[in-house]
Amino acid sequence: MSEEKELKKRKINEKLEHKVKLVEKRDRMLIKDRSSERAVLEEVFDKSTLMTIYDFMNKHVIDEIFGVVKAGKEARVYWGKDFEGKEIAIKIYLTVSAEFKRGKLPYIIADPRFANVKRDTRSLVYAWAQKEFKNLELCCKAGVRVPKPIAVRNNVLVMEFIGKNGVSAPLMREVQLSNPERTYKQLITYLKRLYRKARLVHGDISEYNIMIWRGKPVLIDVSQAVPLEHPNSETFLLRDLKNLNRYFKRLGVEIIPIEELYRRVTGVHSKHVH
């Protein structure tokens, strides 16, 4: 290896170590229970995850990682920047999440796209990251506003950051909508495009999985979205529609009856709507 290549590799390694230290410092500030601190840090930055991040930095997908913007039991989302200075979101799924296999298995095993995935937790986590990336791609092509996918490998997903200067856009439940009726209609349009163009059902529509950015809704956490071929797709869709109506009815919006709403989204009538 030439001295120039060796120097470049050493600089990238030093930069990665520096970024990880910054992230770990931010993590420690977020963890109140010190006894669990080391365990949580190791869950996120195990050797495999570090190598994946290193690979993304080497390929100029990620330049900087600053800190956690969302921390959950199954994944963490970090704010970062690419080599052009654009803000990105880096979602890292925890490969040892105890609840992951039980909670996600029904969404994966019946998805024909992942029929041959192994049942061990790590394989399922990797498949879940791939699933979210593919779903984001389908959403974008269908004209549904979601974070644009950039790259995925193993348990690390890189996508567009929804927000500015490291501050995430608020969730729908956190804001007072200036025009709830318009937002309601926009979300119905999204579900219609998802169903008819992307051939997907979101499966977890709620005020917790919708951001409001620049006055418009943005669907997030689309990893659990299933294709129409999934045996539970209709059940999931009806649940989405009921959740949507429940929330906007509380805001005083004149909601569309479920039967009619189902027809508008799918284009057909259902015997199971009640």
Provide the token pair at 129.
Answer: 């990251």
**Encoded amino acid at 27, one letter:** D
DSSP state of 172: G
125 neighbors 97 (Cβ within 8 angstroms): yes
**Integer Cα distance of 87 and 43 in angstroms:** 25
Name the catalytic one among 27, 111, 204, 240: 204
**Integer Cα distance of 63 and 56 in angstroms:** 8
**Integer Cα distance of 129 and 184 in angstroms:** 29
Judge whether 221 counts as a catalytic residue.
yes
- Helices vs. strands in the chain: H and E counts, helices first: 8, 11
Name the catalytic one among 27, 82, 221, 240: 221
Judge whether 33 counts as a catalytic residue.
no
Residues serving a catalytic function are 204, 221
